[in-house]
Structure 1
């Protein structure tokens, strides 16, 4: 780990300047020490989590390979979720594979068709549908629309041909950019108790 003090009695500040040690406040040095100590612990923990994550996937793969060998079946692909439960039913591990979805230019075509529908239905349109549409196409800080809200539109049963074309355009706009695998751990006190997640998130630990 880097040490802030130079051998010749200077400290480098946040601007890259060399400050004589006698001009640096004690509180600044204590804060520097606090940050470096905490960062050291955080880096160690992050490395342990990387090692643990690799071990989880290796162990799961080995178990699936064992099952495939036992039942003379080919191992499946990455798609699909898996749940592994302890014999007493008090602990379980879930491995979930989630697609990272984005929307192509067809989404704008769908928005135009939906706007036409709402414009024509102005007096008769249910306010709930208006709110649903406005919320679905609202972008977040990253300029992305809500995937769940867009898909919620497809569950609205409207027979207008333009609406149906808009829903088809939404379906065509969906693009899978990649997948990510998540591992979640749960435990409970008894077989009748609700499952409680075991958090590996520092904010929720």
Structure 2
């Protein structure tokens, strides 16, 4: 039997398994149920890795097909715009299937968001009680941090929809806009099938929705 291998630099000698504390434990000292549990987990993870790789290959192939088609379609009008940019919707001839390629930006706030929050707090402090208390609750909710410890960009941007004609408030809204930084983009592929009702239902590729 060849030594087990968890990665390219971490070989496990024959007859041993590595535990959660990174210690090598002789298999003779491991309970049968613990071995079986480990085997079940590793078997499922191995299969999941293959599925993950297949899905990645599918996405890359589908994105290339969409890009090639968009470029080909643009050639009819003597335009070469590069099919990798922008959101695209493609529908089958019979209307049964719809594909959407969507481009999403990763946005975060830089340090200027704190200046914006301070200006907003100053506005609320100067206003009379009543409606300002409701606005303060909206602001506190918008500036909550998410599980990653970051302020949700969309939540904060929702404050810009408030119809408040106050110079300092408008300055705060400008500071919010200026503090947004684009850190990258992601490309999403969504597939839909038309139901008897006429509505399109997404074809789930998320394992939890299957």
State TM-score, norm by structure 2.
0.87
Cross-structure match for 1:17: 24
Cross-structure match for 2:100: 94
Gaps of 5+ in 2: 6-11
What displacement does 1:76 show? 4.5
Q: Distance in 1 between matches of 2:132 and 2:46?
A: 57
- 2:185 corresponds to 1:179: yes
- 2:184 corresponds to 1:199: no
Cross-structure match for 2:146: 140
- SS state at 1:53 partner: helix
C-alpha distance 89-77 of structure 1, shift in aligned 2 (>3 A): closer
Q: Distance in 2 between matches of 1:113 and 1:88?
A: 55
Q: Distance in 2 between matches of 1:165 and 1:79?
A: 33
Cross-structure match for 2:168: 162
Q: Distance in 2 between matches of 1:91 and 1:101?
A: 31
User: Which contiguous aligned blocks of 4+ residues in structure 1 show a shift greater than 6 angstroms?
Assistant: none
Gaps of 5+ in 1: none
Q: Number of paired residues?
A: 201
- Two-structure CA RMSD over aligned residues (Å): 2.1
State TM-score, norm by structure 1.
0.89
What displacement does 1:2 show? 7.0
C-alpha distance 127-194 of structure 1, shift in aligned 2 (>3 A): farther
